Amino acid sequence: MNTNESSLETGSIGRNWKVIGIVAFFAAGLVASGLLRFFHLHTEDPVALSAYATEIYIGLTILAAVLLRRSGVPFKRLGFGVACQPAKYLALAAAGVGLIQLSGWLLEPLWEHIFGGTRDLARFSDVAGSPVALAKLMALNWTFAAFGEELAFRIILMRSIAFALGDSRKAFAVALILQAVIFGLVHAYQGPAGVFGAAINGLIFGGLTLAARGSIWPAAITHGSSNSTGIMAMYLSG
């Protein structure tokens, strides 16, 4: 191992400017993809690029993973080579689903009081009473949302921020908060309640990932299961 790679393994902030730059670029790109989705849904004449917000975020995630690895970030930081502990992951996922449901039950009335309404989910309204739309949305949920977003936000973004800041407890706390804020901003298309709700969920997903020592499974299962509950509720409403 060369000297530069060794210094990167230590997570020393003074020697990790390249990693910090990649992470900053990735975070800005994620926010930009969220803004594109917002403009696509909430403007009468959106730019053509806004229709490809999901594809852009997927491309950015792959690019960030490649650049970080080439900069010396260990594979474990990118979610590879983490020991599998099924019983622990399922227990964490069950706790995560409970926390998501509890936070929604407690906070939805607060968002309605402050913002005059809950999350704007009109984008998914076509699922009501439609088995075809339900199947399509469930497939997207368990791929691009559950695993795709967890890979982007909790594995690559959060863990790379902590790595770049020195791997201390404070670094992980800062990383946990920053990724949750960015996750909230990416959901701006759901309105103010969606931003705050997604940020709270991001904290829960991030906490699960940290508790699982970097494994994507608990947060992904929690994310997919919680979304599935909401999707089924919308389907049955039709």
Radius of gyration of the chain (CA): 18
- For residue 103, the model assigns a pLDDT of 94
- For residue 93, the model assigns a pLDDT of 97
Nearest one of 181, 164, 12, 160 to 79, comparing CA atoms: 160
The DSSP element (H or E) to which 131 belongs, if any, is helix 131-140
Q: Residues 53, 40: contact at Cβ < 8 Å?
A: yes
- For residue 2, the model assigns a pLDDT of 41
Token pair listed for 197: 């709700």
- For residue 40, the model assigns a pLDDT of 82
- For residue 84, the model assigns a pLDDT of 84
- What are the DSSP E strand ranges found in 147-225? none
Token pair listed for 70: 């080439």
Low-confidence stretches of the chain (pLDDT < 50) are 1-11, 13-14
- For residue 5, the model assigns a pLDDT of 40
Query: pLDDT tens for residues 46-93?
Result: 666 667 888 888 999 999 999 998 888 877 777 666 778 999 999 999
Domain ranges for the chain, please list them: 3-73+85-236
Q: Residues 213, 195: contact at Cβ < 8 Å?
A: no
